[in-house]
Amino acid sequence: MQNQLNVALIQSSLVWENPVQNRINLRDKIETISEPLDLIVLPEMFTTGFTMNPKDVAESIDGVTVKWMTNIAKEKHSAIVGSCIIKENEKFYNRLLFVEPNGKINSYDKRHTFTLAGEDKVYESGKDRLVVDYKGWKICPLVCYDLRFPVFARNTDDYDVILYVANWPKVRISAWDTLLKARAIENMSYCIGVNRVGLDSNSYEYSGHSAAYDVLGERIDNIPIGKEAIAIVTLDKMHISKYRTKLGFLNDRDTFTLK
C-beta of residue 97 within 8 angstroms of C-beta of residue 88 = no
Closest listed residue to residue 187, CA positions, set 108, 237, 249, 255: 249
Distances (CA, A) of 142 to 147, 215, 244: 8, 18, 23
Catalytic member of 17, 44, 59, 119: 44
C-beta of residue 92 within 8 angstroms of C-beta of residue 123 = yes
**Does 218 participate in catalysis according to the annotation?**
no
Closest listed residue to residue 73, CA positions, set 61, 82, 62, 60: 82
**Does 110 participate in catalysis according to the annotation?**
yes
Catalytic member of 84, 140, 144, 191: 144
Q: How far apart are CA 79 and CA 210, in angstroms?
A: 19
Q: What is the dihedral of CA 42, 48, 51, 52, to 10 degrees?
A: -110
C-beta of residue 143 within 8 angstroms of C-beta of residue 166 = yes
**Does 144 participate in catalysis according to the annotation?**
yes
Q: How far apart are CA 233 and CA 235, in angstroms?
A: 6
Known catalytic residues?
44, 110, 144
